[in-house]
Amino acid sequence: MRKMDLFWKSKKEWCHIKNGRFVINDNAPPEAQESYKHYLEQCKENIYESYFDGISPELQAELDKMTPEEKEASLEEERRKCAEMKEW
């Protein structure tokens, strides 16, 4: 399990909630801004790893043929589908 970078969240004046998510304030110090960027990258990696973890060998073979851009597009499509299901 990965330890997430949450330094940016250590002071409540550095972040706020927008649309149900924590986001960094524009006036947060540079080290908090950098921490937030790192956190977002970690989230993206976790989603990617979870999405492509435990798949069949056949699907893995198809994924291996994809470019990084095609994989990202596929992941974005899955995120969109998940968001639509949450709205039900």
pLDDT tens digits, one per residue of 43-71: 777 766 655 556 667 777 887 888 889 88
- 87: phi > 0 → left, psi -120 to 50 → alpha, else beta; which? alpha
User: Measured between alpha carbons, how far is 45 from 35 in angstroms, rounded to an integer?
Assistant: 15
Q: How many domains does the chain have?
A: 2
* 12 pLDDT higher than 80: yes
Length of the chain: 88
Residues 34 and 66 in one domain: no
Residues 19-46 pLDDT 10s = 888 889 999 999 999 999 998 888 777 7
Q: Are 40 and 24 contained in the same domain?
A: yes
44 plus 74 within the same structural domain: no
Segment 6-19 shows an average pLDDT of 90
- 25-36 exposure pattern, b = at least 16 Cβ within 10 A, e = fewer: beebeeebbebb
Residues 47 and 20 occupy one common structural domain: yes
25 and 7 in a common domain: yes
Helix (H) or strand (E) holding 51: helix 30-52
Query: Domain residues for 17?
Result: 1-53
